[in-house]
Chains A and B, each alone.
Chain A
Amino acid sequence: MIKVPQQCLQRVPGVLGLALCVAIGLVAHAQQAPNAAPNPNDSNQLLLQRINELEAKVKQLQEKQASNVAAPEPAVEEPRVNSVNDRLKLNVFGDVGFETADLKPSTNTFEIGSLDLFMTAHLSEKVSALAEVLFVAAADNSITPDVERLLLQYRHNDHFTAGIGRYHTSIGYYNTAFHQGSWFQTTVDRPFMYAFDDAGGFLPLQEVGVTTSGLIPSGKLELSYVAEVGNGRNHLLDGEPAQNAQDTNNGKSFNVALSAHPVWLNGIDVGFSIYHDYLTFSDNVNHSELISTIHVVYLNSTYEFLNEAMLVRHVGSSTGAPGVFHTPAFYTQFSRRFRSYRPYFRYEYINAGANEPIYGDPTDGPVIGRRNGPSLGVRYDFTEHTAFKLQYDRAQRRGVPSSNGLDSQFAFTF
């Protein structure tokens, strides 16, 4: 029987442990320091042997890796831009929920918000098409399809993209950032100043015409522009907001927007837009309409801070007498993400005069009046493509009792 010296026996576990430790360390750094040499004075044969093995393995791996790169995979997929087979992309957005309010005659109700079919296609490297068909439940419970957007686009380069068709007007920030899909926006609904016509909104948010956009060479200021010419909007009450096939006059609406995304203030978006049109509604007076907006937005993956202000200027009273009417509005919205939860707060304000020729005339659309109040809520993204939102609203309106509302919404995309 072979006798092992007691001292050696005592050292074995320690040496083994040390060897394993060094082995782990070496594996971690193997490719960083493939030529690291062992201490020649180290008499531990086990360690030397292990190091030699590891070095051999590293060499093998390096050779294998080099051969992989030297012989690139033959089937390299091309970018999808010109692909014919999968050129059509379809996304569906929807939202459903339950709402209640203490303002009569509203009732507690489950509701279908909208079903939004959004399609895009690259027709060539520079030409693309975009279509959005919306199904929205009306107050009379009917559901009708609506061609929300239909746009053919040509992208010459990063500085010039042109599109023709029906689009969302680049008024302010919110209208171009969030469009119809409720899933994109943090809150249950849009700020009132950007509400769509079917939700009582009053701005010309949809247009039929030509839109151009692009980046302006501006160094670290990173300016971008939008310039649009369209038919303008139609009579508001119970009608299509955009003049899809027939303009009521030869005059066209113009919209110009400019925004900056300074490199040194990552996440900041500052900009303004100016929209002009002539409106001829039921009073047969040609009203000049000028809509000016400014916005300061800060966004990153954690914080969302949206601030927008607007001033609508209408010229000429409904009786034809000269007059200038201003309608100011603003909202501020702040939210912070905590993992899948995003609590938010919004305050909004709008004040249209009672004798405003467009917003105060019930024959031209809903009377806007004054309304202001906070909204408080939380968004919970329980899957990557599904969100639940719960929102409390308090609204104070001119001539109407203050009201409280509670909305819940499931918004999703697939």
Chain B
Amino acid sequence: MMKNKFMSVMLRAFVLMILCAIIAPVAHAGDAIVVIVNAANPIDNLSTAELKKLFLSDRSRWDTGKSVAPVMVTGSPERTTFLKTVCGMSDSDFNKYFLQAAFTGKSATPPKEVSSVAALKSFVVSSPGAIGFVKALDFHGDGSDGGVRAVKIDGLAASDPGYKPRM
């Protein structure tokens, strides 16, 4: 009798664990992707269309005259989401786009690829024209991020409802 009850409780605990394991990743879904620039860049807000142009090399300079230097983390889930939501492309579409752009004679340079969020932030800190993106979890906005700062997209901050670039 006692053994049966023990097994029943164990079973309930197991089901609860499974549910939590399912819920945990779901809790991550919807995490914002924060667009960051060098702290010296005066840009405060970008439209989604402008953002797309910057990453597709359709716009090569900031209003300050600095060269635009987009950067992204290779193979990261936020890269895939960003390309889909901002550029409307899959990874392979994105690669093909730059190949085709070169083929058509456009002077299009693909974004720099780095291997980690730390390397991305480091690049943005050291390049005045750099622009990149990270998950909200990787951006603190409290000064601990070094010389980078977040940019609003379509007038919305990453914490605002309606902010589009999300996982």
Contacts and interface: CB of A to CB of B under 8 A. Distances in A.
B36 to A, nearest CB: 11
A151 interface: yes
A118 B105 CA distance: 11
B118 A73 contact: yes
Interface residues of B, number: 57
A69 B10 contact: no
A153 B108 CA distance: 13
Interface in A47-86: 62, 65-66, 68-70, 72-73, 76-77, 79-81
B121 interface: yes
A69 B137 contact: no
Contact of B122 (A16, A65, A72, A125): A72
Contacts of A24: 17, 20-21, 24
A25 B20 contact: yes
Nearest to A6: B2
Contact of B123 (A76, A153, A179, A381): A76
A91 B67 contact: no
A76 B127 contact: yes
A91 B102 contact: yes
Given A158-B59, A300-B88, A69 B12 contact: no
Interface string A75-114: 0110111000000010100000000000000000000000
Nearest to A127: B107
A77 B113 CA distance: 10
Contact of A17 (B12, B89, B109): B12
B44 interface: no
Contacts of B23: 25
A13 B11 CA distance: 9
A106 B164 CA distance: 56
Interface in A117-147: 118, 120, 122, 125, 128, 130
Given A28-B24, A384-B92, A69 B112 contact: no
A1 interface: no
Interface in B114-167: 118-119, 121-123, 125-127, 136-138, 140, 144-146
A354 interface: no
Contacts of B16: 17-18, 21
Contacts of B80: none
A32 B104 CA distance: 45
Given A77-B112, A161-B107, A13 B6 contact: yes
B107 A153 contact: yes
Nearest to A22: B20
A281 interface: no
B27 A28 contact: yes
A64 to B, nearest CB: 10
A18 B16 CA distance: 8
A76 B9 contact: no
Given A24-B21, A29-B27, A184-B100, A72 B6 contact: no
Contacts of A128: 107
Contacts of B17: 17, 20-21, 24
A69 B122 contact: yes
Interface in A298-350: 300-301
A181 interface: yes
Interface string B2-42: 10011001101110110111011101100000000000000
Contacts of A404: none
Contacts of A81: 67, 109
Contacts of B103: 91, 118, 179, 181, 184
Contacts of A130: 105
Contacts of A79: 67, 69, 109, 112
B99 interface: yes
B118 A10 contact: no
A69 B6 contact: no
Contact of B88 (A6, A62, A89, A266): A266
Interface string A207-239: 000000001000010000000000000000000
Contacts of B14: 17
13 contacts: A11-B9, A17-B16, A18-B16, A25-B23, A28-B24, A28-B27, A68-B118, A77-B112, A155-B60, A158-B59, A167-B105, A220-B49, A381-B92
Interface of B: 2, 5-6, 9-10, 12-14, 16-17, 19-21, 23-25, 27-28, 47, 49, 58-61, 67, 69, 88-90, 92-93, 95-96, 99-100, 102-105, 107, 109, 112, 118-119, 121-123, 125-127, 136-138, 140, 144-146
Given A18-B16, A267-B88, A301-B90, 4 more contacts: A16-B13, A21-B17, A81-B109, A184-B96
- Nearest 8 Cβ contacts at the A-B interface: A17-B13, A72-B122, A21-B20, A66-B144, A69-B146, A28-B24, A68-B118, A13-B10
